[in-house]
Amino acid sequence: MKKILFVGLIIILSLVFRSIKVEASDDYNGFDEVVMESGKLLENFTDAEYNEYYSYVDKRKFWGWNVHIVNDKVPCTYIARTVYETTNDGTEEINYEVSVTTETEVRTIINASGSISYGLSGSVKKFKNDLDAEVDLEYKYQITEGKQRTEKIKIPVEGKTKLLVTVTGQGYVTNGVASLYMFWINVEKGGFEYFTITSEYQKIEKVAI
């Protein structure tokens, strides 16, 4: 009887703590644009696609994760945000001085849907219950120190032209669905995603208006 109560307590605690998520400020879903070579981000999965993918992870097991990878390290490019924008509405060329930063870094940001849980380790958001090990993905959550250079440059902007400086980069996306079983009971189920940034820099472009 005591053994049954102990097992029941573990399951209840798992159900309680799985719903606790800590929001992190580093959210690539707020980027201006993300373009994948194929597939789509987790936030764009449809209900029909979820139902199809869940069919691969619904098999009950005594303990552990069932994982189905949908997009595996798909290359992508992105525009995180615009840091400087100005327009030369006149007809004469104008020189603008802009501070430009170039930096190379590697870091991984995660996202989840459904009841898959994650938390903060310092300032870094990580999945709980060893989902990382089950997915078996090489990643670096933390920002690795890279070369950073900031310089001021003068840019000639012709008349009727807009100057844009954006934070742009490359990386890759891995996502899919997973379900966690404890004592044959499904305690977590949903989508997971790793967005790995391999380089990030500021891009300068001029657009005719």
Q: First-to-last CA distance in the chain?
A: 77
Q: pLDDT tens digit string along 10-56? A: 333 333 333 323 233 357 888 999 999 999 999 999 999 999 999 99
Task: Write down the pLDDT at residue 40.
Answer: 97
> Looking at this protein, which amino acid is placed at residue 53?
Y
| Vertex 141 angle, CA 190 and 202, to 5° | 110
Dig out the tokens for 112 from the structure: 């989840």
**Residue 119: pLDDT band by 50, 70, 90 thresholds?**
confident
Cβ contacts of residue 113 below 8 Å, gap of 6+?
42, 43, 45, 190, 191
Report the range out of 52-56, 113-117, 137-141 with the highest average pLDDT.
52-56
Task: Write down the pLDDT at residue 44.
Answer: 96
Q: pLDDT tens digit string along 152-189? A: 888 899 999 999 999 999 999 999 999 999 999 999 99
Cβ contacts of residue 63 below 8 Å, gap of 6+?
181, 182, 183
Q: How many helices (H) and strands (E) does the chain have?
A: 3, 9
The position carrying tokens 């189905």 is 68
By CB neighbour count within 10 A (0-12 exposed, 13-18 middle, 19+ buried), where does 188 fall? buried
Task: Say if residue 63's pLDDT is above 60.
Answer: yes
Residue 49 to residue 56: CA distance in whole angstroms: 12
Q: Tell me the pTM.
A: 0.79
- Judge whether 127 and 118 are in contact, CB under 8 Å: yes
Residues 125-151, mean pLDDT to the nearest whole number: 74
Burial 110-142 (b: 16+ CB within 10 A, else e): bbbbbbbbbeeeeebbbbbbebbebbebeeebe
Task: Say if residue 8's pLDDT is above 50.
Answer: no
Phi, psi of 157 (to 5 degrees): -120, 115
pLDDT above 90 covers a percentage of the chain that reads 55
